[in-house]
């Protein structure tokens, strides 16, 4: 059985930082969108209320230095710019995350190669056995067809639909066996397909 580790176990520290930063940006973007929705709701409810100049004047008379409140439309515009910038940064970080996944995937593949090679050899050997069994079955069927006797209720299996004709040198199974020999997973192609 091939043991699969999660790709995250192959991330470098830099990769982990990229992925964490992308998540932080996504969370910040979500918060800003909620703020924008609240501003939009307030504007829809009461309009774009500009600060009351009388309140500002009264504060100055009382000796209180109060910063001038920002109109809601200005706050809305600022939030839109912030959201745009976060989305652009997220897009950039998505590219970095793809690169991190590619590098981690290469490390994962290198680590798994010995296990995959063993599984490929076992699969090829099992398919050779299945091919030999299928060839015996198919030869029996062909014997009856060639003799013109009919099947007489024999050979009802649709195995040919699954495995093809076992002597077809243009079949996918033929190509598979040659590829497995080339990869070193089989010593030779079954004789019926040579």
**For 164, left (φ over 0), alpha (ψ -120 to 50), or beta?**
left
Residues of the chain with pLDDT under 70: 49-52
Residue 102 lies inside a defined structural domain of this protein? yes
131 in any annotated domain? yes
In a domain, 164, yes or no: yes
> Closest Cα to residue 117, out of 193, 186, 39, 22?
186
Residue 1, domain member (yes or no): no
Rounded to a whole number of angstroms, the CA Rg of the chain reads: 35
Distances (CA, A) of 29 to 52, 79, 91, 94, 112: 31, 10, 12, 14, 38
**Structural domain of residue 68, as residue ranges?**
7-193
Looking at the domain assignment, is residue 143 inside a domain?
A: yes
Domain count, the chain: 1
CA distance 92 to 12: 19
Is the pTM above the cut of 0.85?
no
- The pLDDT, as a whole number, for residue 63 is 85
pLDDT (0 to 100) of residue 51? 61
Find the distance separating the first CA and the last CA of the chain, reported in whole Å: 31
Whole-number Å distance between alpha carbons of 57 and 60:
5
pLDDT of residue 153: 86
Q: How far apart are CA 169 and CA 157, in angstroms?
A: 22
Q: Is residue 39 a part of any domain in this protein? A: yes
Structure letter (DSSP) for residue 4 = P
- Whether residue 2 is contained in a domain is answered as no
């Amino acid at each position: 059985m091939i043991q699969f580790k999660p790709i995250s176990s192959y991330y470098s520290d830099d990769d982990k930082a990229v992925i964490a930063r992308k998540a932080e940006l996504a969370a910040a973007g979500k918060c800003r969108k909620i703020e924008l929705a609240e501003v939009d709701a307030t504007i829809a409810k009461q309009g774009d209320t500009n600060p009351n100049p009388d309140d500002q004047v009264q504060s100055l008379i009382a000796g209180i230095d109060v910063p001038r409140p920002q109109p809601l439309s200005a706050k809305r515009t600022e939030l839109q710019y912030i959201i745009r910038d976060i989305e652009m940064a997220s897009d950039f970080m998505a590219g970095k995350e793809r690169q991190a996944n590619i590098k981690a995937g290469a490390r994962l593949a290198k680590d798994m190669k010995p296990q995959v090679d063993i599984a490929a050899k076992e699969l090829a050997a099992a398919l050779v056995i299945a091919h030999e069994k299928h060839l015996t079955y198919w030869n029996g069927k062909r014997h009856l067809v060639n003799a013109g006797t009919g099947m007489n209720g024999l050979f009802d299996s649709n195995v040919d639909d699954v495995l093809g004709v076992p002597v077809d040198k243009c079949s996918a199974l033929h190509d598979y066996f040659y590829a497995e020999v080339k990869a070193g997973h089989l010593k030779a192609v079954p004789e019926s397909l040579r």
